[in-house]
Chain A
Amino acid sequence: MARLIGICALALLLAAPAQAERVVAGLSQEAIAITTNFAGSEILIYGAVQRAAPPPGAEPLEVIVTVQGPSQPVTVRRKERRFGIWVNADASQIDEAPSFYAVSTTAPLAQALSQTEDLRHRITLNQAIRAVGTGRADQPLFNAALIRIRSDDGAYQLNEGAVRFREQTLFDTAVRLPANLTEGDYLTRIILTRGGVVVDLHEQLIPVRKVGLERWIYNLAHERPLIYGILSLVIAIAAGWMASAVFRYMRG
């Protein structure tokens, strides 16, 4: 059995170079550093299609670019009127939702990607949100609310037609990352499709990290909370004292 699998794998490997179209891609940034004056960032994703033969078939080649932030469990709560005021009532624990998700395409998504291929490669946002076993009949409402809220914040983006594609060969797009990024590895995928079927896929990780002072403060606050607390008090008292001393000096 193992031998049979081995032979199959080998056959696949040998078949690989026969693939007609491959994607070669690059990113404007290898890593993103959250510094003190971080106000969001933009990554440029560009590349080309490498061909061994003239493009086959009549259907055009399409490019889909996804950028996905680290996934986390999320609690979504729904407000209800109780005793005349609006309070959080029902809650749903979504097992996993990406903190950031952007999909950019050359054509409308329905045209660029078939549903079966989406399921297989987990390309659209809906495939990245996992909410199983919440036992709620109205779970889709909570999922929709999560997507709506995060789309308004710019954390979830669907940019149809945002990928420029020249001569079916050169492509480029820019993805805007908001200022309130969650730290972690951001997975960037560049997907070539033809007739809704995935032809080739390229993946790259972009680490997003707090650096310098931001890193130091965050680590201290979480690893040595007592020392951090005392330091916060001392620094605040000293800053207040200095500000008033400077002000008094300026007034004469």
Chain B
Amino acid sequence: MQIYLPIAEVSVNAFLLLGLGGIVGVLSGMFGVGGGFLMTPLLFFIGIPPAVAVATEANQIVASSFSGVLAHLKRKTVDLRMGTVLLIGGLVGAAVGVQIFAALTAIGQVDLLVKLCYVVFLGIIGGLMFFESLRAIRRARSPAGAAALPRRHRGWIHALPLKMRFRTSGLYISVIPPLVVGVFVGVLAAIMGVGGGFIMVPAMIYLLGMPTKVVVGTSLFQIIFVTGFATLMHATTNYTVDMVLAVLLLVGGVIGAQIGAAIGVKLKAEQLRILLSIMVLLVCGKLAFDLLVMPDELYVIGFDGAGH
């Protein structure tokens, strides 16, 4: 069944979109990731204009993270104070990111920026995860090494001014590092159409030293507001949010996520991580390949945003 997307102005198969949403949903349910970093490149591959893909994906992430945040709030595993600080940074970052996006659209380099960001981040995250889980599998096989990593305290983070007490996390640290993390994630959310959990979660654990149990809830809390804000900014500056596309992806995604969560329980954590890292590296490889190999068609017709 073909469906005409009013903002993207292309006609695509509705079942293809539901299926894509479903597959990414299964993966995000299995691995506990948002899936934006997989969905946005997949949308490029099926011919959705990049500007529309990024803005619409931000919209979808808000909706798909919403029920997660409610569950974490109920369990009281959200550090609201830390979340608010991250959020303030995130809003600033998203506002900056949308402006960068609009400026680069005007000079025709937005495709390149988005794709480069993807290659760099997917490459780093995929590579780190791959080697880390290989090590974990090897450790599990050899009986000697099962030592937990000691938590490292970063001296310079404690030396920064503007300290604040975060009770839920049991921390007394400066607000500067969380603000910076927030800004960075906000920029990525606006440019790449991702929630940014894949950057924020490691940063919260290793950089800020937050306890693992509040990390996911707090990052989701920050993500829904930042991506919500990015959606509104994209809608008002670039007119690139496609409501119909978002709803189709979402319905597939929500159902997929439930199935994925059920599969995820049956697999081992290291196996899951290695699978995820291989997938991330594949998407990264495809994007890198397209940038490195001489394209068949050297000319492109400029995309001046969906608004004519």
- Interface residues, chain A, with chain B CB atoms under 8 Å away: 34-40, 72, 74-79, 81, 84-88, 91, 141-142, 145-146, 148-150, 179-180, 182, 210, 213-214, 217-218, 221-222, 225-226, 228-233, 235-237, 239-241, 243-244, 247-248, 251
Contacts and interface: CB of A to CB of B under 8 A. Distances in A.
A54 to B, nearest CB: 49
Contacts of A182: 9, 308
B interface bracket (residues with beta carbon within 8 Å of A): 35 or more
A75 B66 contact: no
Chain A, interface SS category? helix
Given A78-B299, A218-B6, 6 more contacts: A37-B1, A79-B298, A85-B116, A226-B232, A239-B251, A247-B255
B3 A217 contact: no
A204 to B, nearest CB: 24
Nearest to A79: B298
9 contacts: A36-B3, A75-B108, A88-B112, A142-B299, A182-B9, A221-B243, A233-B59, A241-B66, A243-B254
Given A37-B2, A247-B255, A239 B299 contact: no
Contact of A233 (B109, B228, B239): B228
B292 A85 contact: yes
B81 to A, nearest CB: 25
Contacts of B232: 226, 229-230, 233
Contacts of B63: 233, 236-237, 239-240
Contact of A221 (B2, B7, B251, B300): B7
B300 A88 contact: yes
Interface string B278-308: 0000000000000111110111111010011
Contacts, number: 168
Contacts of A36: 3-4, 244
B68 to A, nearest CB: 10
Interface of B: 1-4, 6-7, 9-11, 59-60, 62-64, 66-67, 108-109, 111-112, 116, 228, 231-232, 234-236, 239, 241, 243-244, 246-247, 250-251, 253-255, 258, 291-295, 297-302, 304, 307-308
